Amino acid sequence: MVKLEAGNVLLKPSHRRQVMGQLKRSQKLVERLGGSDLTITMQRVGHQHEVRAAMHDARGGDFTCRCRQRDWRAALRELVQRVTHYLHDRHIGLA
């Protein structure tokens, strides 16, 4: 399950769809691992946007990641790359 918490970042519904679209591959990998919870939190800190990901796996794997960029899209893109890389390695390691 993937949960998005926007915090103090104002996202329009179209922006939320873009975020979930970028997370599509990560969602598929989370489903394959089974019983995983992925929470993404967005915060605006000064002139920068901070995006955090926290994942708890049913098989005992925990993963946290934080990215800061001036634009929320750039921060989210970097975070999605990190999360997808971790999930891919975790999926291959369990196979």
Indicate if the pLDDT at residue 83 is higher than 90. no
pLDDT score at 25: 81
pTM over 0.85: no
Q: What is the pLDDT of residue 47?
A: 93
CATH architecture of residue range(s) 2-90: 2-Layer Sandwich (3.30)
The DSSP call for residue 60 is S
- Domain residue spans in the chain? 2-90
> For 15-71, how does the pLDDT look when each residue is reduced to its tens digit (9 = 90+)?
888 888 888 887 887 777 777 788 999 999 999 999 999 988 777 678 899 999 999
Tokens of 49: 């946007």
pLDDT tens digits, 57-77: 777 678 899 999 999 999 999
